[in-house]
Structure 1
């Protein structure tokens, strides 16, 4: 598993590199100190996971995430920060970051990287418990204006509740293939990138 670490604190980056490379299957291909370098390094190495700080000079982690995801929509970006800032969390979710962890929780970093690499979305416990409140938006949103039908709305709700395609299929008595087809339709209609953004969209418009 190839990782890039970007953090403006060189000591933090070095410590993370040491911690991660204790594991034989983890290779830290490069490190950077700002978002501008993150964009350059991602294009050069195209890692399995980009582990990146948010607050950095020249270009912060959120702006870098946006630029990288515009060019590489399937990029796995795990944001690591000392700040559980509400605005940062919401923006990270909207951009399509695959995770948002606090630096203080060093023990969860490697499991989070592995989870993100396997296609999961990961947020620290402190953050997950606050997501519904942070993302709550206006009531009575008209999904019909996006041509979303009742079955698609059911699937959106289940995605927002954290259900996998397999769990959704069991709940709605559908095949996993049918669920994937519905999800593709939902993403196209709402002009979203992935299931994380579907969950964000749902909570924003509840």
Structure 2
């Protein structure tokens, strides 16, 4: 009998977790053994489970610990535990960044159920899941490596601030969520505007909409 793939499912929306569990239920060898609704809960669940986990399905936009920060922590503290990232953001915005940080792949939440199950199986087996869109994003990133224009030039923290800015959060709210001083967030914002060639938050949002 094939050993089960024991999964920790992490998303802050219960309805999304229920939908994902229904998709995973189509594969009898995949078992959701734990759930988490925040970054802090993910880390606590992984620490509690020890070796009883084979894979983490991790949302990027998580409260109490951004998904990318959680990914970095898991790769550092549990390097053998595969982490498959989930998001509603297009692959060209986050897939390359996630894989560079050590993710076992990047899945859009609207992915075909068969692709999702294939990604879970491949990541749990130690591979890296790369969809067609992710492969294109990786190829584009390699082609831009010399120039590093636009959002490709942003650091991990700048990318976090960018996501929150374009979601309508104020500088103060971003500081509270990321544990940063307001003036530090303002500095990151200024760097983001400079690197993207935009003048304000409205232009920045339009710039990101133009990138999908």
Q: Pick the TM interval, shorter chain.
A: 0.5 to 0.7
Contact 2:10–2:17 (CA under 8 A) maintained in structure 1: yes
Structure 2 residue 119 is the aligned partner of structure 1 residue 115: no
Structure 2: distance between partners of 1:112 and 1:56 = 21
1:127 is matched with which residue? Answer: 134
Unmatched 5+ residue regions in structure 1?
140-206
Structure 2: distance between partners of 1:8 and 1:103 = 13
Contact 2:96–2:137 (CA under 8 A) maintained in structure 1: no
**Number of aligned residues:** 139
> TM-score, normalization: structure 2?
0.61
Structure 2: distance between partners of 1:24 and 1:127 = 27
2:13 is matched with which residue? Answer: 9
Contact 2:7–2:33 (CA under 8 A) maintained in structure 1: yes
- By how many angstroms is 1:129 displaced? 1.4
**RMSD of aligned residue pairs (Cα, Å):** 1.7
Structure 2 residue 32 is the aligned partner of structure 1 residue 28: yes
Instruction: Choose from 62, 84, 88 the match for 2:68.
Output: 62
Unmatched 5+ residue regions in structure 2?
148-212
Alignment of 1:75-114 (within 5 A): 75-84=81-90, 86-107=92-113, 108-114=115-121
2:154 is matched with which residue? Answer: none
- Runs of 4+ aligned residues of structure 1 deviating over 6 Å after TM superposition are none
- By how many angstroms is 1:51 displaced? 0.5
Alignment of 1:129-144 (within 5 A): 129-135=136-142, 136-138=144-146
> TM-score, normalization: structure 1?
0.63
Contact 1:86–1:134 (CA under 8 A) maintained in structure 2: no
